[in-house]
Amino acid sequence: MEFRILGPLEVVEDGSSVPLGTLKERLVLGVLLLHANEFVSRERLIDDLWGEAPPPTARKAVNVYVSQLRKALGGAGADAIETASGGYRLRVERDHLDAERLQRILADARESVAKGELETAADRFREALALWRGPTLAGLQLESLGRDEVARLDELRVAALMDRIDCDLALGRHEQVLGELNVLVREHPLRERLRAQQMLALYRADRQADALEAYAEARRTLVDDLGIEPSEGLQRLQQAILRHDTSLETPEGTAAVNGLVACTPAPPTPEAPPRGRLRPRRRLLLLAGVVLLAGAAAAAAILSTSAAATPRIVSNSLVEVNPHTGKPILVARVGSLPGPIAITRTAVWTANYGSDDVSRYDLRTHEVDTRGLGFGQPNDIVFDREGNAWITNIGANDQPAQSSVVIRLGAGTGGTSPGAVAPSHVDPISFPLPFAGLEAFGGGHLWVIVGFHGPVAGDNRVAVVDVPDGDVSRVLHLDESATSVAYGYDTAWIGTYAVNSPGLRSDSRIEAFRTGQAKHHDIVLAKHGADWGPVSIAVGDNAVWAATCCGLGNKLLKINPITLRVVRRLDLSPEGGSGEIAIGAGGVWVANDHSVVKIDPGTDRVLRTFRLVRGKVGQLCGIAATRRQLWVTSGDVACDTIGS
């Protein structure tokens, strides 16, 4: 018996479709197949069938639907649907579910890409794409988490399409893929990777004017729909086309243009002519090979499910979390009391409060390198555009009382080097103010809060550090103590509060410092009785997000970066308190003591709360996200005891 979910739900036995009964029965089967061979609770089925308003008879109805499905699936064995404690498990052989076959085929395709076997990889991608018969579970409208899981598989189809097109471009089939790319760009106008592929194909087809017009159309769409400019990679590609950049002829040059990690071409066979003798057009065909591994890695992030048991979160660890299920994907031990997280193309970094060091988790080798810096406790870590790591620090015991240290690690340790942190890269910069706290990079500057992140040790000063020389160019003096900082939309956003004491204001604000403007803008979040300001600020999804707690209540505030007005206040009190924020992986994420809360940035609704830390493990002390990945750090004590 074969099960198909990549399209309309279908069960086939001996070449004939098996009748599946009512719509609700098909919905139950769809959810069970999305989690084939996994336990699915009865409450989860109720959520996906009725959403937030289930009928009083929901539990009994689910039992009836499962009973009817057992009868319909009799050919799959009497115990195809097993009853577990409070739920069910559908047993399916791996080759009998199209989604499982898809994962195996895509894994083979990625392996062929890694070996440089692009023709084989293209064929395998086509084989995978042929499994789709339409949108996942077409005709079935799931509620709750089921919608995210369906969207994940549909997103996987688009990623596989782009990977296959990369293969075709690398093999010189730019003329053949142009028509397909034109259709895909119309279907997905905000996908800049498709726009880049379209521009590259047009350029290779000697249609340079059309390639530039494709960029102009992409820019119009992004500016009109989202109010943002194209990504730096797309802008660099346009500039390279304008100047007929000869680097477009080599994989290494294309990596410089697009900001991607270049793949190493397979060594030529003895019969192959030397690379230097390749005609320009032939060398140009190697261009898409650069994009290929990056695209395959992105697809791999979606295919993160594993047959192995879910790893257990332990103290002092860096954890990758599945953004759809909330389950840990990997757990790596790092230094003591890991806090802030910084992510580059090749590694994930943590600043470890308890052991006065930093850890680097290599995304390729999966090894962790932890080393001390010799300058006291690290407070925060960010990367600039050149790949330099900037680590704010309390300072060593031999430093003057009114001085601290900002540590700069050279670019070789950040975005591109697979190696460990080398001692020669450490560059301590004297900071002429006590304590270097939370920081953000943007506008060519490092914005550093003076003082710890806390209500007592806070300071009303923010140092603006020039990058890359490390000099403090100016110091901002605020009316209240600074609590948090972020940079985006050409603006530094600094959260502030005033201690709630007699004779002092107790306002909570965000100060917005626009690049190139002498005047700053004041955003009042609350007045009188607010004894704590924004504990965290993040920028993304066309908004500025601020998490508050205590006197303000546990809230997430959404601010329009153009009008500088608070447009939404989400009460997170039932979710367990407000903490650090991350944007990416399909949502806005707030890390609370033991859980992460997922918010839909489009509807501003709380979608899910995932409980991650249990038992004797301490709190979640850091969170970060990329387009498809979610990371947290877990310490062994409460976060609010750190740095105080």
d(CA 537, CA 511): 12
The C-alpha angle with vertex 371 and arms to 370 and 374, in degrees rounded to 5, equals 155
3-state secondary structure of 206: coil
d(CA 174, CA 212): 16
Distance of CA 70 to the CA centre of its chain: 40
Q: Give the closest residue to 301 by CA, choosing from 636, 628, 642, 631.
A: 628
pLDDT in tens, 548-583: 876 556 788 899 988 889 998 888 766 555 578 999
* Structural domain spans, the chain: 2-96, 98-264+278-302
Report the percent of the chain where pLDDT is more than 90: 19
pLDDT class of 296 with cuts at 50, 70, 90: very low
CATH number of 2-96: 1.10.10.10
Its sign, for the CA torsion 285, 289, 295, 300, is: positive
pLDDT higher than threshold 80 for residue 398: no
More confident residue, 260 or 162: 162
pLDDT higher than threshold 70 for residue 81: yes
pLDDT higher than threshold 80 for residue 401: no
Tokens of 90: 């559908």
Tell me the CATH architecture of domain 98-264+278-302: Alpha Horseshoe (1.25)
Which residues have CB under 8 Å from 85's CB, separation 6+? none
Residue 187 phi/psi, 5° resolution?
Answer: -75, -35
The residue behind tokens 């062929």 is 112
pLDDT in tens, 337-372: 898 999 988 889 999 888 888 999 988 788 899 888
Buried b or exposed e, range 149-180, using 16+ CB within 10 angstroms: bbebbbbbbbbbbbbbbbbbbbbebbeebbeb
The C-alpha angle with vertex 95 and arms to 47 and 25, in degrees rounded to 5, equals 30
d(CA 463, CA 468): 15
pLDDT in tens, 241-279: 887 765 554 433 333 354 443 333 343 333 333 333 333
Would 2-96 and 98-264+278-302 be classified into the same CATH topology?
A: no
pTM of structure: 0.53
Q: Most distant CA pair in the chain: distance in Å?
A: 85
What is the 8-class DSSP label of residue 181?
A: H
